[in-house]
Structure 1
Amino acid sequence: MKLIFLDIDGVLVTSNSLIPSDKYFGHTFDPNCVRKLIEILTATKAKIVISSSWREGRTLTQLQSIFRANGLEDCVIGVTPSFNDETIRGIEIQTYLDAFDDLEGFVIIDDEEEMGELEPFLVETDFRTGITESVKDDVINRLMMNKQ
């Protein structure tokens, strides 16, 4: 299975989707980023593991519901462990990978660089734009060529 370790803020929630009057503030994804993520998932058949801070204080079921409400059906299969504020996200992702059996490839989509030894697998986004066409192309290329 191919995995995408996904941050949310700066990837799917961008400055364009933060509308103060929106009753779903904090839960509305940028529709352009959603379209590009759907294209990635369709092309690669990858599944999503949430590595975002959104996993803290929310269950997997709640996160899946948020994704469904934003047009992303049946794509989230898990969340990385959360150790503490001092632990870099790359260590949490590596812990998830260590327990995963059927890995064909993976990529990390995040707007932060702190991935430690997993930095070569990072496709970095910008908070203002999230998943752009070039990010989408990079992720698809990595997942289609990447064999772990």
Structure 2
Amino acid sequence: MIIFSMILLNANLMIHRNTVMQIDGELEQEVIALGQEIIEEAHTKEFDQVTVGKNLPPANIPGDFTGHNSLGTDGEGSRRYYNDFDDYDGHFEIARTQHGNFEINVEVVYLDENTMLPVSAKSTFKKIIVTITSEFLRDNAGNLKNYRLEFIRNYYAD
């Protein structure tokens, strides 16, 4: 009876652990899909506000680009009206899915062309950082996990 109870307890523990891993996997797939959607959407937009609707490139590259303090919307009211890559800077939304609610925060920064580190100077490189959290995705200590998806875009590579 004791041996059977031990086997049953271990089997129950393994089933529970596998179920938790399966649910975490499904939630993480949702996180990746949500983040990738924003990154792909942003990539379809113009590189900078000065290039929106223009057939010719700006006269001064990167000097004519939006300053790092002005990244973000240019008066567009919501995500569906964003027309350039850096409009996504400061974007926040709560995505409601069948797997629960996910908080999405977006940041866009300029990158140094040599080190690929964030800089305050204008450059031909911008990086979008999408951070996603969910109340159901926690580490072993019970803290919320932050998932970061990043994409680097070069003005000349478009």
Is TM more than 0.5 here? no
**Which structure exhibits the higher relative contact order, with contacts defined as CA atoms closer than 8 Å and separated by 6 or more residues?**
1
TM-score by length of 2: 0.23
Larger fraction in strand? 2
